Amino acid sequence: MPLARLVDAAAALAATRSRTTKTEVLAEILRDLSPDEAEAAVGLLLGRLHQGSIGLGYRTVLGARDAAAPADTPSLTVSDVDEVLDGISGLGGAGSVGARNDALVGLFERATAPEQEHLVRAMTGEMRTGALEGVLTDGLARALDLPLADVRRAVMLSGSLAGTVKLGLTSPDALASVGLAVLTPVQPMLASTAPDVAAALAVTGEASVEHKLDGARIQVHRNGSEVRVFTRSLADITSRVPEIVEVALSLPVESVILDGETLMLDDDGSPRAFQDTMSRFGSTEGANPAEAERQRVLAPRFFDVLHVDGEDLIDRPLRERLATLERIAPAYRIAGEVTTDPAVAQRISTEALAAGHEGVMIKAVDSTYTAGRRGKNWVKVKPVHTYDLVVLGVERGSGRRKGWLSNLHLGARDPEGEFGPAGGFVMVGKTFKGLTDELLKWQTETFPDLAVDDNGWALTLRPEIVVEIAIDGVQRSSRYPGGVALRFARVKRYRVGVEAKPADEADTIQALRSLLR
Ligand SMILES: Nc1ncnc2c1ncn2[C@@H]1O[C@H](COP(=O)(O)OP(=O)(O)OP(=O)(O)O)[C@@H](O)[C@H]1O
């Protein structure tokens, strides 16, 4: 497929807000796509190259673009681009910087001006097309004339949109029958939020009220003697967590997929600070942890089971899945009770907080496991308001923080473009509270690579890094464009590494504004 086709489609997508029109634009593209080009084309459309991160900084890409005169007429195909990107991602070692640059300049010289622009945005991850994934799923269903539910399910169960497009274009029948595959991760089911347990129960009806542990999400797969452990973003961390592998192997099953949380426990069984879990969980592969580190054991705790001994359970009600969990892993279950009574739920919440947990999860007992969806069947209730916001900029510190990048400019997502461009971010406040020396150091090392502007006092950053912020509330503001400002914002943790969250899943300006009421 000509690259120009894709670039035109991207322009058509940007020019409309109508979901129906977007779906049709994408369906048309997909109808003409060959399976071989599917993964590359989806990567270029979504701005998420299928080669993964190929180590191209913003400056390198812009520099190469500026060194290349644009072509007058389009000639590049999607496969041409893919080949060059494959080549670049394969480069390493001495001299690779020059070779990489030459390859980039060569590519840009073959591209027209609009194509260059598109490539820059795709390579630097500057395309804010999170919302596009859903539309692309719709478009695929339209192109293949399959029920949308089948396509959605295939995406969730295979954990890959690009892979699903390829499979669908190769064989629509195969797509319709995608099931769970043990050892292949599925997108995790997600929760919505309620202000208190009564409001949550009003949404779910009879519910399993469970402690919400503040660790890291894990998905554990076992097939016979083979075990794999995945993070929330489906990264494979098996080699770093031998104690979780051991637990999986000890269960009385042949094959299983478990969903849960891992945290580090103190000797008395109480959970340690989240930062501790992360430092152990996130330690680099192959590194030899210090003696003290090694003694801290990661404790897996499970709240769901998706498959056991050849049988998929995701379409069974939670009630049944919990019974299965109780049968196969009673010692590793997260505490909870089934109830309709807000008083009971409140008691469990109080117990959870007393035990050092974050709050409760309230889950409809009759619900199925809807992979990848943030729905009403799982509702979280946390007494401390935390929001996942995007770092839009950072100020140079002064006084004690001189030399560090310190005060953060925080933005909420504006999916519909109520206060600016659709899919953009609206600034809602600043904070340097909660930043440890370690985090200041990390910010100072990391942020310059994301900078798109620097006025000497503050850097403007590409809106990519998500940070979890605790607040006491919000107030009306005439200073910030969304009309709302955070009160007493402090940093809780960065959503990077194993707990990574993409910017297009950050909390919205609408969610913050709803707190004004
Ligand atoms: N009993 C439990 N059931 C489900 N999830 C739990 C439970 N205990 C802890 N969790 C964690 O809570 C998360 C559910 O909240 P949500 O789906 O909103 O994820 P999130 O966006 O990562 O939110 P958060 O930052 O609040 O954990 C899960 O991803 C999981 O890591």
Q: Please give the number of the atom of ligand 1 that sits closest to the Cα of 210.
A: 1
* Burial class of 73 by CB neighbour count within 10 A (0 to 12, 13 to 18, 19+): exposed
Residue 449 has pLDDT above 80, yes or no: yes
Q: Is 387 in the pocket of ligand 1 (CB under 6 A)?
A: no
Q: Report the pLDDT averaged over residues 149-178.
A: 90
Tell me what pLDDT residue 52 has.
75
pLDDT in tens, 296-307: 678 899 999 999
Residue located nearest, by CA, to atom 31 of ligand 1: 217
Q: Report the pLDDT averaged over residues 132-147.
A: 93
Tell me what pLDDT residue 94 has.
67
Tell me what pLDDT residue 167 has.
95
Q: Is 373 in the pocket of ligand 1 (CB under 6 A)?
A: no
Give the span between the Cα atoms of 385 and 161, in whole angstroms: 32
Q: Which residues contact 510 (CB under 8 A, 6 or more apart)?
A: 418
Number of C-beta neighbours around residue 224 at 10 A:
10
Tell me what pLDDT residue 390 has.
97
Tell me what pLDDT residue 333 has.
96
Residue 246 has pLDDT above 90, yes or no: yes
Q: Give the least confident one: 61-65, 284-288, 453-457.
A: 284-288
- Closest by Cα among 187, 160, 164 to 175: 164
Tell me what pLDDT residue 517 has.
73
Beta bridge partners of 405: 396
Q: What torsion do the CA atoms of 292, 293, 294, 300 make, to the nearest 10 degrees?
A: 130
Residue located nearest, by CA, to atom 7 of ligand 1: 212
In which band, very low, low, confident or very high, does the pLDDT at 292 lie, cut at 50, 70 and 90? very low
For residue 229, the SS3 value is strand
DSSP letter at 416? T
Distance from the alpha carbon of residue 189 to the mean position of ligand 1, in angstroms = 9
Give the span between the Cα atoms of 406 and 424, in whole angstroms: 23
Number of C-beta neighbours around residue 314 at 10 A:
21
Place of tokens 């009003």: 202
Give the span between the Cα atoms of 215 and 264, in whole angstroms: 8
Tell me what pLDDT residue 283 has.
45
In which band, very low, low, confident or very high, does the pLDDT at 454 lie, cut at 50, 70 and 90? very high
According to CATH, what is the number of the domain 190-381?
3.30.470.30
- Residue 103 contacts residue 84 (beta carbons within 8 Å): yes
Give the ipTM of the model, two decimals please.
Answer: 0.95
Domain boundaries, the chain: 3-176, 190-381, 385-514
Probe target for ligand 1 pocket from 197, 209, 211, 217, with the most ligand atoms within 8 Å of CB: 217
Over pLDDT 90: what percentage of the chain? 67
Residue located nearest, by CA, to atom 2 of ligand 1: 212
Residue 264 has pLDDT above 80, yes or no: no
Catalytic residue flag (residue 492): no
Residue located nearest, by CA, to atom 10 of ligand 1: 212
Query: Of 3 and 48, which is predicted with more confidence?
Result: 3
Tell me what pLDDT residue 89 has.
85
Give the span between the Cα atoms of 350 and 359, in whole angstroms: 8
Helix 19-31 and helix 3-14, axial crossing angle in degrees, nearest 10: 170
How far is the first Cα of the chain from the last one, in angstroms, to the nearest whole number?
Answer: 51
Q: What is 385-514's CATH topology? A: OB fold (Dihydrolipoamide Acetyltransferase, E2P) (2.40.50)
In which band, very low, low, confident or very high, does the pLDDT at 128 lie, cut at 50, 70 and 90? low
pLDDT in tens, 380-416: 998 878 999 999 999 999 988 999 999 999 999 998 8
pLDDT in tens, 326-341: 999 999 999 899 999 9
Over pLDDT 70: what percentage of the chain? 92
According to CATH, what is the number of the domain 3-176?
1.10.3260.10
Tell me what pLDDT residue 268 has.
63
Give the span between the Cα atoms of 53 and 124, in whole angstroms: 9
- Residue 100 contacts residue 84 (beta carbons within 8 Å): no
What pTM was computed for the model?
0.73
Tell me what pLDDT residue 91 has.
80
Give the span between the Cα atoms of 51 and 459, in whole angstroms: 29
Tell me what pLDDT residue 275 has.
57
Gyration radius from the chain CA atoms: 24
Residue 242 has pLDDT above 80, yes or no: yes
Number of C-beta neighbours around residue 126 at 10 A:
15
Tell me what pLDDT residue 56 has.
75
Q: Is 191 in the pocket of ligand 1 (CB under 6 A)?
A: yes
Q: What is the largest CA-CA distance in the chain?
A: 71
